[in-house]
Amino acid sequence: MANATIEEQVQEVLDKLRPFLLRDGGDVELVGVDEGVVKVRLMGACGSCPSSTITLKAGIERALLEEVPGVTELEQVF
């Protein structure tokens, strides 16, 4: 059940960041959380944007590490 709690917290953070991604024509989808590793899929413009790695690491991962205890890393899946 603890996993569901982490996933809910991760989803809340992603929902807060979503308007910024949507403004640029993209979006993010939570694929799952496995032992502290959050897996997301970037969609729309974010999926093909050259800056998507920076968005993932500097934006989304930083927010998740700060706001969700137990998250250790962010991984992009395609």
Q: Which residue has the higher pLDDT, 52 or 29?
A: 29
What one-character-per-residue DSSP string does 19-75 give?
HHHHHTTEEEEEEEEETTEEEEEEEEHHHH-TTHHHIIIIIIIHHHHHHSTT--EEE
Q: What is the pLDDT of residue 53?
A: 84
User: pTM score, two decimals?
Assistant: 0.88
Residue 69 has pLDDT above 90, yes or no: yes
Strand partners, 34: 37
Q: What is the pLDDT of residue 48?
A: 82
The number of domains in the chain is 1
Q: Tell me, what CATH number does 69's domain have?
A: 3.30.300.130
**Mean pLDDT rounded to a whole number for the chain:** 90
pLDDT tens for residues 30-49? 999 999 999 999 999 888 87
Q: What is the pLDDT of residue 47?
A: 82
User: Which domain range does residue 43 map to?
Assistant: 2-76
Tokens of 29: 């989808």
